[in-house]
Amino acid sequence: MTFLRLITAALLASLIALPAWAFDTKARAAWVYDLTTKTVLLSKNADIPIPPASMSKLMTLDLLFEALEDGRVTMDTTFPVSPHAQSMGGSTMFLNTTDRPSVRDLVQGIIINSGNDACVVVAEGLAGSEPAFAKLMTERAQELGMKNSMFANASGWPDPGQRMSVHDLGLVASRIISHFPQYYHFFSETHFNYKDRAPANAENRNPLLDIKAADWKADGMKTGHTQEAGYGLVGSALMGERRIVFVLAGLPSEQSRAQEGEAVANWAFRQFVMKDVARAGTRLAEAPVWLGGTSTVGLAPEKDLSLLLPAGSKDKVTAEAVFDGPVAAPIAKGQKIGKLVITVPGLDDPREVALVATDDVKRGGFAVRVKAALARLTGMAIDAAKKQASS
């Protein structure tokens, strides 16, 4: 495996002179993610299981959206309300056993009213009982790579068996946005009052929806609060083509939740910039060729690559062309040869894009093959002599 360190003009141009600053959140746990570029911007106690409160309702919604997508239910499907559902305390949409709410009602009741009763109705409607649904939630979370989540109920009601990490909350939020865009508009709705029963609980508690920022707009997703968990928020916002998802947990008050949510969004959008760092077809490196009509072949990115970079970073972005070489001829233009690995200081995950051949390289003639064979034999003889001399 060959590693060829590159510093290209495009990469150097990506570093801009703006004052960058780190974000020191007051939240006990936090995870900030640029969904557009798949970049983690901030991680604080992100994989520690914590009581998620009503933020875990996102997992209930994910399973409901799956049922909608595969046709098990429609938005007009109605479910009965059990005595258990009616008895739920905390935030509710005030359902009773004579009601037959539709799936649409329940989606709005969960997102806007944070209805614990609505979650139980969904759980019983899809799985027969809330414990059975909680088991499905846990199993599905594991399948989706949410390694620090387990569920005892559908609503986030306090229970020692109800735990999620902020990382896992961010994963399910990102999944809902990416996989169920047809339902995402519900998260930006601000008012729902089922049969005019809950005027005091009819407003969406997400404080970001009220912010009138000049350059970004929040459109989701879910708040949570219990005595044990503190105040939490799963937020999402859009600026141009960039979307961020973030999770804050363990804040001391509603006011601090609102302030911290706005501050995180401002930081994520304004302290990171999108830069084009590699253009498709631009020759960045050369790989040696074995038994070819030419001794090298050019390597170029297969597609454009844009990166999210910390504004004003003084550290160098590094790029390595990684390939198995020399590359045996014949080689076709566009053939994948290796990959370009770009490392950005301050961001955990390197970015990769395939490197392809810029030209066709035909297999060399008889003279080329003889020359290569002699060179190989000479090299083997030298290696053998060195080993004998050292023994």
Which amino acids are annotated as binding site for substrate, given as ranges? 222
**Is the torsion defined by CA of 335, 338, 340, 346 positive or negative?**
positive
Burial state string for 232-255 with b = 16 or more CB within 10 A and e = fewer than 16: bbbbbbbbeebbbbbbbbbbeeee
Cα separations in angstroms, 240 against 11, 103, 118, 274, 387 = 23, 32, 34, 11, 63
Torsion on CA atoms 223, 217, 31, 113, rounded to nearest 10:
10
Q: Omega of the bond prior to 326 within 30 degrees of 0, cis?
A: yes
CB 286 within 8 A of CB 297: yes
Residues 86, 104: Cα–Cα separation, whole Å: 18
Least Cα distance to 50 among 26, 35, 30, 24 occurs for 30
Inter-residue long-range contacts of 371-378, CB under 8 Å, 24+ positions, other chains counted: 372/290, 372/291
In the three-class reduction of DSSP (H, G, I as helix; E, B as strand; rest coil), residue 338 is classed as strand
Residue 35 class from Cβ within 10 Å (0-12 exposed, 13-18 middle, 19+ buried)? middle
What is the secondary structure of 266-303 as a DSSP string? HHHHHSEEEEEEE-TT---EEEEEESBSSSEEEEEESS
Active site residues: 54, 57, 114
